[in-house]
């Protein structure tokens, strides 16, 4: 059916679809001061709009809105139509507290009460 539409209308529909995908997605990739909307996220990677995103490589931060989710080491893998796919080489979950480097005893006191 889209073959019967004029080229300008098809292009307008394509731009509107891309804008809706960007607006709907809360996921963002941040590289330095630049931010890119994530169109799709899966276990081993993600996809960005090919026109907006350069061939990214290296360390990036993945956000859901303002919440920092992961720090990722990525590499551009392939172009897929209007999307550019990236693969995670490493993806580390961001935590509020540093991990402990020792085993905490379950019966250890949590505070000191002086009398």
Q: What is the pLDDT of residues 44-77, one digit of tens each?
A: 999 988 887 778 889 999 999 889 999 999 998 8
Q: What is the largest CA-CA distance in the chain?
A: 86
CATH number at residue 74: 2.40.10.430
Question: 16 lies in a domain?
Answer: no
Per the structure, the complete domain to which residue 82 belongs is given by 26-93
Q: What's the pLDDT score for residue 2? A: 56
Mean pLDDT of the 79-93 span: 89
State the total domains in the chain.
1
Distance of alpha carbon 59 from alpha carbon 73, whole angstroms: 5
pTM: 0.67
Distance of alpha carbon 48 from alpha carbon 37, whole angstroms: 7
**Contact 90/100 with Cβ under 8 angstroms?**
no
Distance of alpha carbon 14 from alpha carbon 5, whole angstroms: 12
């Amino acid at each position: 059916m889209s073959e019967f539409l004029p080229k300008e209308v098809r292009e307008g529909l394509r731009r509107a679809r891309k804008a809706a995908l960007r607006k709907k997605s809360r996921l963002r990739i941040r590289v330095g001061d630049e931010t890119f909307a994530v169109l799709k996220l899966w276990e081993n990677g993600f996809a960005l709009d090919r026109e907006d995103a350069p061939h990214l490589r290296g360390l990036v931060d993945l956000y859901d809105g303002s919440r920092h989710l992961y720090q990722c080491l990525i590499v551009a893998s392939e172009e897929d139509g209007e999307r550019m796919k990236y693969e995670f080489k490493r993806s580390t979950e961001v935590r509020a507290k540093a991990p402990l480097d020792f085993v905490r005893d379950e019966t250890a006191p949590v505070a000191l009460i002086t009398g």
